[in-house]
């Protein structure tokens, strides 16, 4: 059975190769999406090449809805967005994948049904399919090579959906067993360096000393240091002082 998480339907319109349908299923399942709809697959359905490529995402193929027309595939949806990189004569709102999935999340949260259309590999969506859409999703690709593989396009949309469907941070850092340094840790590190650099007469000329010390403190505060980083930097300074005092 499909998972219960509210989500958009990904509609593959006239997909040509079973391998690409299978790869698209894998891309969807990477991001917890399992509502696949197929519009008139060129090589018929079911397709063994799709099954072989889908690997662990074969369930999506078993549960995929197969329709004869795009209109049938989106009939129950209140918002339809079409992925295309080509210029069109149809005037529609154009969204980035990020913005499109933000809108999809909000509309689905309000109880609406949303579909995202993906065109066939050879030429993408036709105008009559795009005419059914409320908006266009445009990927900022190289204009000299704007064609995306079907599964790549599905993966991109799926990633943006997952990013906005759950609480995530823009980036994560593996701390390797350490913890982020506290402001106290940073202050002690700054004091240590300032003290030793004063002894070394680094802050010269005297009338610039205060601004130089301020810049040094500002440098430490800008750096995302862990407690292990702070210990290492203390150790570096202590060893430099010992080396100087030994006169090596």
Say which CATH number the domain at 73 has.
3.40.1280.10
207 is in which domain, residue-wise?
183-246
pLDDT 10s digits, 172-188: 566 678 888 877 888 89
Same domain (yes/no): 192, 103: no
Helix H segments across 31-133?
A: 48-54, 58-63, 70-73, 97-109, 127-130
Are residues 187 and 112 part of one domain?
no
Percent of the chain beyond pLDDT 90?
A: 54
138-177 CB burial, b ≥16 within 10 A, e <16: beeeeeeeeebebbbbbbbbbbbbbbbbeeeeeeeeeeee
Q: Which of 2-6, 110-114, 230-234 has the highest mean pLDDT?
A: 230-234
Q: What confidence category does residue 169 fall into, taking pLDDT thresholds of 50, 70 and 90?
A: very low
Q: Tell me the pLDDT band of 171, cut-offs 50, 70 and 90.
A: very low
Shared domain for 114 and 200, answered yes or no, is: no
The secondary element (H helix, E strand) that includes residue 28 is: helix 18-30
Decide which of 222 and 29 is more confident: 29
| DSSP state, residue 65 | E
Phi, psi dihedrals of residue 2, rounded to the nearest 5°? -60, 150
Whether 198 maps to a domain, the answer reads yes
Give tens-digit pLDDT for 105-154: 988 988 888 999 999 877 788 888 888 888 889 887 777 776 788 999 99
> Could you tell me if 72 and 191 lie in one domain?
no
79 near 107, Cβ under 8 Å?
Answer: yes
Which whole number is the average pLDDT over 20-41? 96
């Amino acid at each position: 059975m499909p998972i219960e998480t509210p989500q958009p339907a990904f509609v593959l319109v006239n997909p040509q190769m079973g391998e690409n349908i299978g790869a698209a299923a894998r891309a969807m399942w990477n991001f917890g999406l399992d509502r696949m709809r197929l519009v008139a697959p060129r090589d018929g359905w079911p397709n063994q090449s799709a099954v072989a490529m889908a690997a662990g995402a074969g369930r999506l193929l078993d549960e995929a809805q197969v329709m004869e027309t795009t209109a049938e595939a989106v009939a129950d949806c209140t918002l339809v967005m079409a992925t295309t990189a080509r210029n069109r004569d149809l005037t529609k709102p154009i969204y980035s994948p990020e913005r499109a999935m933000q809108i999809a999340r909000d509309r689905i949260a309000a109880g609406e049904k949303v579909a995202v259309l993906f065109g066939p590999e050879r030429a993408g969506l036709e105008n009559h399919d795009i005419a059914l859409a409320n908006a266009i999703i445009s990927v900022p690709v190289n204009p000299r090579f704007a064609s995306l593989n079907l599964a790549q396009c599905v993966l991109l949309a799926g990633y943006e959906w997952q990013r906005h469907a759950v609480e995530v941070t823009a980036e994560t850092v593996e701390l390797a067993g350490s913890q982020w340094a506290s402001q106290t840790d940073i202050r002690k590190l700054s004091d240590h360096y300032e003290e030793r650099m004063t002894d070394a007469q680094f802050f010269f000329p005297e009338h610039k000393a205060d601004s130089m010390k301020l810049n040094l403190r500002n440098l430490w505060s800008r750096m995302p240091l862990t407690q292990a980083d702070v210990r290492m930097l203390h150790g570096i300074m202590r060893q430099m002082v010992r080396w100087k005092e030994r006169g090596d």
